């Protein structure tokens, strides 16, 4: 990014209405919904994705996008014949659409993973589970982020 944030802000200070500030130029690279779809199709292939079974616990409003607690759980008996193979988490507007892939086994006992993620903007987070019968189930959650992660400068 050739323009620093400080230079940009002093330039933008000349514009009186905050509403017309081209804030988008501060974030030159974002995953677009098209990238999100591509990332999902890379995992799922052409299989249909049904809604349900998956639960995504993430705060609807976060102050700091640098560390957002997230828990994904899937309703599954976790037996040798009926279990969750993997859980995949995606985002809509970070520079890259992937967040994490988590691979479980029947001996996991409970289909649940938790981690802490980064969100660069207010956006949608999508969790997809692949079951042992190779069906895919998804859930999406909207998260409002007041302080974004990833794109700030390093000092």
Partner 1 sequence: MPALINVPPKARRGEVIEIRTLTSHIMETGFRHTADGKLVPRDIITSFSCRYNGAEIFRADLFPAIAANPYLSFFTVARESGKFEFEWIGDNGYSSTASASIIVE
Stretches 11-19, 51-59, 96-104, 136-144: which one binds partner 1 (CB under 8 A)? 96-104
Q: Which of 36, 54, 62, 99 binds partner 1 (CB under 8 A)?
A: 99
DSSP tag of 153: P
* Residue 91 interacting with partner 1 (CB under 8 A): yes
**Which residues pair with residue 24 across a beta bridge?**
none
Task: Tell me if 68 sits within 8 A of 46, measured CB to CB.
Answer: no
* Residue 146 interacting with partner 1 (CB under 8 A): no
* Residue 135 interacting with partner 1 (CB under 8 A): no
Q: Which of 53, 56, 62, 102 binds partner 1 (CB under 8 A)?
A: 102
Residue 140 CA, distance from chain mean position: 9
* Residue 112 interacting with partner 1 (CB under 8 A): yes
Give the separation between CA 62 and CA 74, rounded to whole angstroms. Answer: 24
Closest contact distance (angstroms) between CB of 62 and partner 1 is 11
* Residue 116 interacting with partner 1 (CB under 8 A): yes
The residue count for the chain? 155
DSSP tag of 18: G
Give the separation between CA 73 and CA 144, rounded to whole angstroms. Answer: 21
* Residue 62 interacting with partner 1 (CB under 8 A): no
Which residues contribute to the site for partner 1 (CB under 8 A)? 1-2, 4, 29, 66-68, 71, 91, 94-96, 98-105, 107-119, 149-155
């Amino acid at each position: 990014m050739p323009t620093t944030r400080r230079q940009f802000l002093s330039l933008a200070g000349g514009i009186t209405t905050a509403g017309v500030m081209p804030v988008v130029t501060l974030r030159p690279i974002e995953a677009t919904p098209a990238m999100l779809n591509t990332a999902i199709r890379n995992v799922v292939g052409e299989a249909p994705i049904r809604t349900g079974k998956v639960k995504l616990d993430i705060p609807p409003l976060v102050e700091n996008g640098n560390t957002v607690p997230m828990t994904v759980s899937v309703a599954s008996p976790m037996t040798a014949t009926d279990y969750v193979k993997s859980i995949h988490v995606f985002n809509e507007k970070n520079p890259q659409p992937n967040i994490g892939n988590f691979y479980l086994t029947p001996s996991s006992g409970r289909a649940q993973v938790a981690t802490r993620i980064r969100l660069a903007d207010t956006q949608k987070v999508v969790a997809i589970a692949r079951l042992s019968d190779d069906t895919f189930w998804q859930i999406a959650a909207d998260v409002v982020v007041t302080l974004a992660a990833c794109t700030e400068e390093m000092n």
